[in-house]
Amino acid sequence: MDDSDLHDRITRSFEAQGLMRLLGARLTHVEPGLVRIALPSRPEVSQQHGYVHAGATSAIADSAGGYAALSLFSADDEVLTVEYKINLLAPGEGDHVEAVGTVVRSGRTLTVCRLEVFGVRADERTLVAAGQQTVMRVAGGSRGAPRSGPS
């Protein structure tokens, strides 16, 4: 699969996710084994102190890791999150937060990804969350799995 096919496949799946659309998240970078998702800081995704809510931070991290894994699977496979753990290291603040999902090991059934979320203000990046995720390959998108990316 060439890079444009990969990008198109991941983009179509990402755009089918209602939660990412509701949050206002954008897919900003796709390459094999690495995906970035940006979420603008706005009142709708904030918690009571004005920081980006941990739920929104976790959601984009989960999707970034899941799509990083999916980027290494065959075109008819899908992915489902099995588990993830995230440590919140600093308040989510800046112009936007950016989740980076990176595949650590892609296996036949399970794939492990590193999750990082940064607060971004101009040229300054602050690590606000770090974690790890395990996702499961769903062959052919069957077995009742949704036909659109990480969950």
Burial 109-121, CB ≥16 within 10 A → b, else e: eebbbbbbbbbbe
Question: CA dist 137 to 61, 87, 122, 141, Å?
Answer: 18, 25, 37, 9
Could you tell me if residue 112 is inside a domain? yes
13 is written with which tokens? 């799946």
Q: Looking at residue 90, which CATH number applies to its domain? A: 3.10.129.10
46: in domain: yes
In a domain, 130, yes or no: yes
Residue holding tokens 């937060």?
A: 97
Q: Note the pLDDT of residue 109.
A: 95
User: What's residue 140's pLDDT?
Assistant: 80
Contact 57, 97 (CB under 8 A): yes
Domain interval for residue 124:
3-141
In a domain, 22, yes or no: yes
Determine, yes or no, domain membership for 146. Answer: no
Single out the residue of 115, 74, 122 nearest to residue 96, CA to CA: 122
Structural domain contains residue 56: yes
What was the pLDDT predicted at 146?
46
Q: pTM surpassing 0.75?
A: yes
Q: Does residue 122 lie in a domain region?
A: yes
pLDDT per residue, tens digit, the chain (151 aa), is 577 899 999 999 999 999 999 999 999 999 999 999 999 999 999 999 999 999 999 999 999 999 999 999 999 999 999 999 999 999 999 999 999 999 999 999 999 999 999 999 998 999 999 999 999 999 986 544 444 456 5
Determine contact, residues 136/69, Cβ cutoff 8 Å.
no
Total domain count for the chain?
A: 1
User: Does 49 fall in a domain?
Assistant: yes
